[in-house]
Every structure is written in C-alpha cells, then in structure tokens.
Amino acid sequence: MAWADLLSFGSGTLVGFALGLLGGGGSILAVPLLVYVVGVKDTHVAIGTSALAVSANAFANLISHARAGTVKWPCATMFALAGMTGAALGTYLGQKVDGGHLLFLFGLVMLGVAAGMFGGRAAGGDPLVHINRDIALRLAGAGLIVGFLSGFFGIGGGFLIVPAIMLGSGMVAINAVGSSLVSVGAFGMTTAASYALAGLVDWRIAAVFVSGGIVGGLAGVRLSVRLSQKRGMLSRSFAVAVVCVAIFVLWKSSAGILR
C-alpha cells in the first residue's frame, strides 16, 4: 500500500507541476498515470479519480496565479460556465462507453492535442483585454465544445482550454494559462461529481494524488511566470511526452480491444 501511495504522490506531483506551468498537460496524463503507473484496474474509476484530483490541483494553482495577477476573471468565468454544461453532457455519454474503447479514443485525442501543441502558443495578444458581447459569445461557444471533450474523456482540458480562450478573447498566453485554471477546476469538478455519485472514485488515491499535485503545482506556477516568453518551447517539449504516452495508450488499449 505504501508503494501505491508513493506512485500516486509522484504522479500527482507531475500533474500538478504541468498544471501550474502550462495551465494543462498534466491533466491529459492523469488517466494513463493512474491506469498504468498507479495500477487502477477500472478505467472509469481512473477517470473519476483523475477528474477529482485534477480539479483540486487546478483550484490550488489558481490561487497562486491569481496572486501573480495572471487571471482575467470575466473571460475565465464566461468560458467556465458554458463549459460546465458541455462537461455534464460529455460525462454522461462517457460513462456509457466501454472502458477499453474509451482509452483508445483518449489516445487519439492525445495525438490531436499534441499536434496542436507543436504549433506553440504565441506570446502576442492584448494584455488589457476586456470582455464584450462578441468575446462573450465566442468564449461561450468554445467553452461548450471543450467542456464536452473534457467530460467525455475525464480530462481537465487545459491544452484545449488555453488556445480556445486565446482565440475567443485575444488575451496573451500567460493570462490564458492563469484564466484556464478556472475552467480546468470547474470541468473536473463537474465530471468528478457525476462519477462519485456512480461510485467510480477511489478517494484514498485521489487524496494522495492531490497532495503530490499541490507540491508540484507550487513549483510549476513560479516557473510559469518566469518563463512565460519561452512557453512555445516548453509546450513543444511537453508535446513530445504526450505523443509518447498516446502511442503507449493506443498500443495497450488496442491490444485489449483485439482480444
């Protein structure tokens, strides 16, 4: 049991660091880490546990980003509220899909996300952006789509949320990273609540995972603020890791499907 706790803590630290640094990335690795490293047998339990842990870590990192002044609250709130509706629908449908097939689809989404990450996130944008009607509509539409994907696959969706917020509002990358954590936390909590009601959350693993995530998140936020102008390089480096994990997930899940 102690070894499982150590693996959970280490996995949580990695996820928390990535959330604090990039506003995402760690969350898309949480489910594979829980299944293949920690050893959670049921894919749906891994998704529910991951959603709870990622949500808690995102809100913890949000506090640090808010203190650093990187959160654009009106834009972040609009995106999150729309996204929670999409997340609720995605969660409902995700629970109806066989676990093995869900992991395979998850691997495909990881490859798609990684492809987008290789393009990098531009440092340009409006650091003084204010929400208006057009921006609100764009953020609401993007939030619904990203929220659905987040709920369906049980991911925080940070690497989808950050570019979506930038596209919808025109804000700079560092503000999108800080603002994205509102949605990562909200989407994860929506997903986790549904899975918890269905008895699909391992509370012990979630608690240890969150503890590790808080430690990693503190380091990630500090580095994020310092290296905000180099985020493109960091995103592409993390994309390589996502591709490697995606290939592994596709291989393992396809082997199970073909049996």
Helices and strands in the chain: count of H runs, count of E runs: 10, 0
Q: Is the pTM of this model over 0.75?
A: yes
- For the beta carbon of residue 82, count every other beta carbon within 10 angstroms: 22
Per-residue pLDDT, 234:
57
Q: Tokens representing 38?
A: 């920690």
Element (H, E) at 6: helix 2-22
Per-residue pLDDT, 94:
82
Is residue 218 pLDDT above 50, yes or no? yes
- List the single range of 37-51, 68-82, 111-125, 126-140 with lowest mean pLDDT: 111-125
Distance CA 162, CA 256 (A): 33
**Average pLDDT, integer, range 146-161:** 77
